[in-house]
Amino acid sequence: MKRWHYLLGGPALLLLIIQFVPTELPAVETDNSGDIIASGIVSEEVTKMLKTSCYNCHSNETEYPWYSHVAPSSWLVARDVRIAREELNFSLWQDYDMIEQLEKLDDIYLEVEAGKMPLGIYTLVHQSAKLDDAQRKVIIEWAEATMDVIAESEEDAESEEEEVNEE
């Protein structure tokens, strides 16, 4: 038998076979009126960073790279995007209530400060998604300031309600 017979019988054959295992990549939706950016609370600078470093996993606007269509990497991508969207989906921002928005911003603050997001496995392949110290600082300051803005707007709404009730 020639050498390539052995090759085909081993890992190559296995790779070929696993291509037939069905994987469903989470659907892409580009028309998202409830997106966080559409809500006007994100500066242009932060918008750019979220789009480059987070949106492929944490939004409905995922741009799937070629390796997300080939097993076994497709399985990992499908799983990561599914879980990431469940935890935090920037496309559905306006569906979150005030408490949820505050929680998500707090999580963003902590994850980015600790350098846990974007995921290391992602920046390994997507170098441009890496955040340096200065960029991380901009994101965490934005998250903190935005939490204040959201909490204050709720307080204003409450005190207006009280005034109306007193009248």
Q: Both tokens of residue 56?
A: 């492929």
Q: In terms of CB distance, is 56 or 101 closer to ligand HEC?
A: 56
Q: Which of 35, 118, 142, 147 contacts ligand HEC by CB under 6 A?
A: 118
Q: Cα angle vertex 116, ends 113, 122, to 5°?
A: 135
Q: Which of 32, 53, 59, 101 contacts ligand HEC by CB under 6 A?
A: 53
Q: Does 83 bind ligand HEC (CB under 6 A)?
A: yes
User: How many angstroms separate the Cα of 35 from the Cα of each of 40, 96, 129?
Assistant: 9, 11, 20
Q: In terms of CB distance, is 5 or 38 closer to ligand HEC?
A: 38
Q: Both tokens of residue 72?
A: 């076994």
Q: In terms of CB distance, is 53 or 101 closer to ligand HEC?
A: 53
Q: In terms of CB distance, is 113 or 154 closer to ligand HEC?
A: 113
Q: Does 119 bind ligand HEC (CB under 6 A)?
A: yes
For 126-163, b/e burial (b = at least 16 CB within 10 A) is eeebebeeebbebbbebbeebbeeeeeeeeeeeeeeee
Q: Both tokens of residue 64?
A: 């799937």
Among 17-25, 59-67, 84-92, 149-157, which window interacts with ligand HEC (CB under 6 A)? 84-92
Contact 78, 26 (CB under 8 A): yes
Q: Does 58 bind ligand HEC (CB under 6 A)?
A: yes
Number of residues that bind ligand HEC (CB under 6 A): 18
Residues in touch with ligand HEC (CB under 6 A):
53-54, 56-58, 80, 83-84, 87-88, 107-108, 111-112, 117-119, 122
